[in-house]
Amino acid sequence: MLELLVEDRGAVRILTMNRPEKRNALNQALTQALLDALRAADADDGVRCIVLTGAGRAFCAGADLSEFKDLTPDKGELVDRRAELTMKLQGIFPQLSKPVVTALNGAAMGGGAGLAIAGDLALMSSTATLGYPEVKHGIVAAVVMAGLVRNVGRKAAFELVATAEPLDAARAFALGLVNRVTAPDELMAEALAVAQKLAAVERPAMAATKELFYRAVDLPFAQALAEGRDVNKRMRGFRAR
């Protein structure tokens, strides 16, 4: 069985994590497949937007704990390689020129929560949950913390990683972790509708919007204004074809 399903609906590419019996837990194979598929979608001229979701009842349960038995201190090279792969996947979303819509069909935990909120837009089923349970397993919500603290305030972010208590959809929406909450049977239709709207935007304008957005998030105000000025001058060449 394929770890990741890839389907095109017009200019929208749907990536579906496909380990339903493992709640789409991120083993090395799925992590690499996702990273490769996101890069491929970004390079494909026929793709204008990406939707990421999960097969079965979960979005993604996070890291596949069954692989942890091999990630021991005496296997430093393996530990380093896996940590690097995890970091690359969690960090690729702002680097893509095309928007990503995440569709949370079920539980999104740990690394799965990181993927869920890494999307440029996130839609969540009303029955789904989101959380960072790592401390309950004696580990740290480490790589995903960078994305979390950029999406919610410090107090809310610390509560999530320190208490490991999951959020329901209403609370996730109230905190701004997701854009919309939908009925479970309407989630994919809504996600595709949003994706199609994004796909209709001219590619140069969308790519420049996304690039500037993620630069401005971390820049001092004056520098962000200067970056905006430069893009403002460049956008005169964005005329619709």
Active site residues: 134
Pairing of β 129-131 and β 167-168: antiparallel
* Cα gap 49→69, rounded to integer Å: 37
Mapped onto helix, strand or coil, the DSSP state of residue 19 is: coil
User: Which amino acid, one-letter code, is at 125?
Assistant: S
* Cα gap 25→17, rounded to integer Å: 9
Is the distance from CB of 85 to CB of 31 less than 8 angstroms? Answer: yes
Total residue length of the chain: 241
HSE-up (13 A, CA, CB side) for residue 93: 23
Q: Which residue has the tokens 């992590």?
A: 31
